[in-house]
Structure 1
Amino acid sequence: MSIKRIHVGPRMSGIVINGSNVHLSGMTAARREGRSVAEQTGDILKRIDELLADAGTSKEHLVQVNIWLSDITTFDEMNSVWDKWVIPGHTPAGATVEARLALPDIKVEIQVLAALPS
């Protein structure tokens, strides 16, 4: 099975395609102090759309999502944006947990796995 890497960096690749699986690295929003969870979530989802397109797929083919929140009480705020973005009937398996993220101004991190269209 071949492995293809896109947006390769020194520490990680933005996208790794393994067979028909498209793995995205965990995405965070551009760092700007004082941004809400909803704003950060919207920025992340826009970037996920772009990366999935770079890989030749789309959110219609989501398989799994992992979401980390720095404060689980913002779960509903994050979901207010997520629910508008995800395609009904194409929702992935998923989990959302509270975690201390890399920097204090990062409130949301999202990682997805998608499939390549057949």
Structure 2
Amino acid sequence: MNSIQRIDSNTKLSRVVVHQGVAWLSGLVAADCSQGIVGQTQQVLARLDELLASVGSDRSRVLSAQLWMKDMSADFAAMNEEWSAWCAGEPPARATCQVTFDDPDIRLELIVTAAV
């Protein structure tokens, strides 16, 4: 039986779960939601880099991403510029949706699956 590794867990979630060479990351939002979409995207991607490194992975091994946005009409282009630069020509499968967050200052949440 293969082990399941749970990282940064509490009673509600694990920030990362690793099993059979795949890492599933729970939703990431910016720590400082007073920033606009560029700042929030940069924060989320920096945190994603940290979490991927913690399990021996990196951005080139991201398999899929779900991007949840508060306002796609206002923020999509600016977020996409940050995302494309971060992907550096190796984009994963991706879906982007507009949602309503419980905190009105959150503009982006990112959920990722990556190979380890």
Q: What TM-score results when the alignment is normalised by the length of structure 2?
A: 0.94
Inter-partner Cα distance in structure 2 for 1:46 and 1:29: 10
How far off is 1:86 after superposition?
0.7
Inter-partner Cα distance in structure 2 for 1:81 and 1:87: 10
Amino acid at match of 1:63: L
Amino acid at match of 2:31: A
Contact 2:33 2:40 in 1 (8 A): no
Contact 2:64 2:114 in 1 (8 A): yes
Match of 1:100 in 2: 100
Unaligned runs of 5+ in 2: none
Match of 2:72 in 1: 72
Amino acid at match of 1:112: V
How far off is 1:10 after superposition?
1.9
User: 4+ residue runs of structure 1 moved beyond 6 angstroms?
Assistant: none
Paired residues, what number?
A: 114
Match of 2:25 in 1: 24
Unaligned runs of 5+ in 1: none
SS at match of 1:83: helix
What value does the CA root-mean-square deviation take over the aligned residues? Answer: 1.0
Contact 1:31 1:105 in 2 (8 A): no
How far off is 1:61 after superposition?
0.4
Q: What TM-score results when the alignment is normalised by the length of structure 1?
A: 0.92
Does residue 1:36 correspond to 2:27, yes or no?
A: no
Match of 1:111 in 2: 111
Inter-partner Cα distance in structure 2 for 1:87 and 1:15: 23
